[in-house]
Chain A
């Protein structure tokens, strides 16, 4: 979810000699454009429309239009709690990803080959492994019969009934951090690749301690990477489904799992669509305003718009 648009330099305006080429770009991009307009545009519009239809548990989706679903989602404290929980989990997950991912990226950057390549692979590789598999690992670790429970029992910290983080905020956050922290590493890594390490030497030569050099010289230069990584992690967590669903279960509903339940358990599609639309709008607002802020903040110094 970084740079939504790739900056494309404007080509010089077509001169008359190239008039005949005017239609080429439309032929080239036409198939994909039609595909996207039909298969992405229509479904989204239909979902938006669906969110305005009435629903009745006995008769299903009605014929008349209403804004009652929006009224419900925006006023009912049940939904407030779900949204608040979702964004609280996102915030904590994002903070932890910054605290873990940014230092790790810098440590990787300072390693030498072959260690650097090996650990880069170890750190980023999990992104390619199915989320279901990674989350299952946490179920096995923190579940009632898991390694953590056994360890706690052996240390006498948990009773005979064992110790489980399943269906807790802590459990969900731990697993989410695990799933998403590679995004932070890769994002900070991209910033580090543009970093001139001799600025660190320069700071040391001017009398800075290694820690001061890190804080005053290195960190500000990788801040854009940290900020864009935060945006990715935050936005993904806010709409994540698999991990909260498996670890948090029905007891800890988040926005994504409540959409799932409205659609596939309650079969109340209009209400589910409403929650989805609200989620989408919030997501877009957050991403857009955050990107704009980051861009303004760094345009003069680092010449990049982080997110």
Chain B
């Protein structure tokens, strides 16, 4: 039995469903991300779990206890708000101690736990500062300490890092995940940043228009996207069109450039064409006529650790990346070949299927 279960959770505002029939299970100690574009219903989901928004349908069950109708203060979850929501009129220590005070923890014990929590986020020295006197990263950590000090069974994070600049964000991603591992609190994080979701989570829930499109571990979400939305939203990809054919033994296969691919699941597809996806880093550039398709380099960008090429081919404009191991091999205008491994090609469902979205936890 899982620790937290969202059972067909739905929130409708008038005719629009902000969250549509979301089912999800979290294991104890797991770090799960809700990933999706702005407006897809991530915050609404989180707010329903927190108890600030009443679901239109569905249930929230924790440890076999139905929490759907419980007041926010009775749930005891730790929440880090996107704006941090620090109390501006209270010092750092008072902010962190607020939840303990509400739980009537005696003063001396409270002090000890505040110190402990501030040590955890490495802010022990800023005890008596006020929120206005802190940097963005420090505020973020105070918010985290305030949420963790009450030892919540569940930690909810709403875009916790989106107000930080890029470098600080990367540092905090690692630090946040380390802290979460240390304390072992089951965590649900909302983010629109796919890099953040992939690097931090045990599992990601990719959402679009209120629905979960895929629930998987980061590697599979990236490598085996369930549909076009997931493949384009999680990482960059080349969307290709393949034509259905049959091979010499009469089994269905896909024609892509000079390649004939046999893939699982082709039986379900009718005739005509299918959608395929291949990641830019899986494309290999070769001299002309040595690849599976020929093309011409249209643009080239340097991105530090890799080069990014756009190659004009009969199959369309292909995006390819090469690791930066010395000077670039090709110039803009060069005629090149492009090659790939048959295993790198993914077949995409045009329409999301419920089987893909309901993926069981590992």
Q: 10 closest A-B pairs (Cβ-Cβ)?
A: A206-B99, A207-B102, A198-B85, A202-B85, A220-B89, A204-B72, A205-B79, A301-B89, A198-B81, A199-B85
In whole Å, how far is B152's beta carbon from the nearest beta carbon of chain A?
9
Query: B39-83 interface mask toward A, CB cutoff 8 Å, 1 = contact, 0 = none?
Result: 000000000001110000000000000000001110111110111
CB-defined interface of A198-242 with B at 8 Å, one 1/0 digit per residue? 110111111111001000110011010000000000000000000
Q: Which residues of A contact B102 (CB under 8 A)?
A: 206-208, 212
Q: Which partner residue on chain B sits nearest A212 by CB separation? A: B102
Contact residues in B for A302 (Cβ distance below 8 Å): 88-89, 132
Complex: how many Å from CA A221 to CA B87? 8
Provide the bound-state CA to CA distance between A154 and B78, in Å: 58
Interface string of A38-62 (1 = CB under 8 A from B): 0000000000000000000000000
Alpha-carbon separation in the docked complex, A307 to B71 (Å): 38
CA of A222 to CA of B86, assembled, Å: 15
Measured between alpha carbons, how far is A6 from B277 in the docked complex, in Å? 60
Interface of A is mostly: helix
* Chain B interface residues (CB < 8 Å from chain A): 50-52, 71-73, 75-79, 81-83, 85-90, 98-99, 102-103, 130, 132-133, 146-147, 150
Interchain CB contact (< 8 A) of B52 among A196, A201, A217: A201
B132 touches A301 (CB 8 A): yes
Cβ A199 vs Cβ B86 within 8 A: yes
Asked if A300 CB lies within 8 Å of chain B CBs, one says yes
Tell me the bound Cα distance from A300 to B76 in angstroms: 31
Partner of B83, one of A196, A203, A205: A196
CB-nearest residue of chain B to A300: B130
**B72, A201: Cβ atoms under 8 Å?**
yes
Distance in angstroms from A171 CB to nearest chain B CB is: 39
Given B51, B89, B150, which contacts A206 in the complex, CB threshold below 8 Å? B150
B50 touches A205 (CB 8 A): yes
List the B side residues contacting A203 at CB < 8 Å: 87, 98
Q: A300-B133, A301-B130 given as contacts; is B73 within 8 A of A205 (CB)? A: yes
Contacts of A206 in B (CB 8 A): 73, 98-99, 102, 146, 150
Q: Quick one: given A206-B150, A208-B73, A301-B132, are A201 and B98 in contact (CB under 8 Å)?
A: no
| Complex-state Cα separation, A127 to B145, whole angstroms | 46
Question: What sequence of 0s and 1s flags, for each residue 240-252 of chain A, a beta carbon within 8 Å of any chain B beta carbon?
Answer: 0000000000000
Q: A198 vs B89: C-alpha distance in the bound complex, in angstroms? A: 14
Chain B residues, Cβ within 8 Å of A216 = 98
Given contacts A196-B85, A217-B87, A302-B88, contact A205 B130 (CB under 8 A): no
Determine whether the beta carbon of B89 is less than 8 Å from that of A207. Answer: no
Identify which of residues 145-184 in chain A touch chain B, using a CB-to-CB cut-off of 8 Å: none
Complex: how many Å from CA A303 to CA B130? 10
Residues in B with CB closer than 8 Å to A196 are: 83, 85
Which of A206, A208, A220 has the most B CB atoms < 10 Å from its CB?
A: A206
Q: Which residues of A contact B85 (CB under 8 A)?
A: 196, 198-199, 201-202
Which A residues touch B50, using CB under 8 A?
Answer: 201, 205
Residues of chain B within 8 A (CB-CB) of A207 are 73, 76, 99, 102-103, 150
Bound Cα distance from A220 to B87, whole angstroms: 9
Besides A207-B73, A207-B102, A221-B88, 20 new A-B residue pairs in contact (Cβ under 8 A), listed by A number = A196-B85, A198-B81, A199-B87, A201-B50, A201-B72, A202-B79, A202-B85, A202-B86, A204-B52, A205-B73, A205-B78, A206-B73, A206-B99, A206-B150, A221-B87, A300-B132, A300-B133, A301-B90, A302-B88, A302-B89
Residue numbers in A under 8 Å from B83 (CB-CB): 196, 198
B72 to chain A, nearest CB (A): 4
Interface centre among A205, A208, A217 (most CB of B within 10 A): A205
Interface size on A, residues (CB 8 A): 22
Residues in B with CB closer than 8 Å to A205 are 50-51, 72-73, 75, 77-79, 147
Chain A residues 280 to 307 lying within 8 A of chain B, measured CB to CB, are 300-303
* CB pair B79 A201 closer than 8 Å: yes
In the complex, what residues of B have CB within 8 A of residue A223's CB?
A: 89
Report Cα–Cα, A204/B102, bound state, in Å.
10
Scoring B52, B72, B103, B132 by chain A CB atoms within 10 A of each residue's CB, the highest score goes to: B72
Chain B proximity of A207: nearest CB distance (Å): 4
CB-defined A-B contacts under 8 Å, sample of 22:
A196-B85, A198-B81, A198-B82, A199-B85, A199-B88, A201-B81, A201-B85, A202-B85, A204-B73, A205-B51, A205-B73, A205-B78, A206-B73, A206-B99, A206-B146, A206-B150, A207-B73, A207-B76, A207-B102, A216-B98, A300-B133, A302-B88
CA distance A166 to B130 in the complex (A): 51
Q: Using Cβ atoms and an 8 Å threshold, which residues of chain A touch B81?
A: 198, 201-202
Measured CB to CB, the closest approach of chain B to A217, in angstroms, equals 6
Q: Once bound together, how far apart are the Cα atoms of A206 and B51, in whole Å? A: 12
Most buried by A among B52, B75, B88, B103: B88
- Shortest C-beta distance, A105 to chain B (Å), equals 18
- Cα A204 to Cα B79 with chains together (Å): 10
Residues of B within 8 A of A301 (CB): 88-90, 130, 132
**B52 CB to nearest A CB, Å:** 5
Task: State how many angstroms separate the Cβ of A74 from the closest Cβ of chain B.
Answer: 41
Q: What's the nearest-Cβ distance from chain A to residue B69, in Å?
A: 15
What CA separation (Å) do A196 and B77 show in the bound complex?
20
Q: What separation, in Å, do the CA atoms of A201 and B86 have in the docked complex? A: 11
A204 to B146, CA, bound (A): 13
Cα A175 to Cα B75 with chains together (Å): 47
Q: Contacts of B87 on A, CB cut-off 8 Å?
A: 199, 202-203, 217, 220-221
Docked CA distance A204–B85 (Å): 12
A221 to B103, CA, bound (A): 23
Minimal beta-carbon separation of B120 from chain A (angstroms): 17
B73/A209 in contact, CB under 8 A: yes
- The CA-CA distance from A204 to B53 in the complex, in Å, is 13
Q: Please, which residue of chain B has its CB at the minimum distance from the CB of A208?
A: B102
Shortest Cβ distance from residue B16 to the other chain A in the assembled complex, whole angstroms:
17
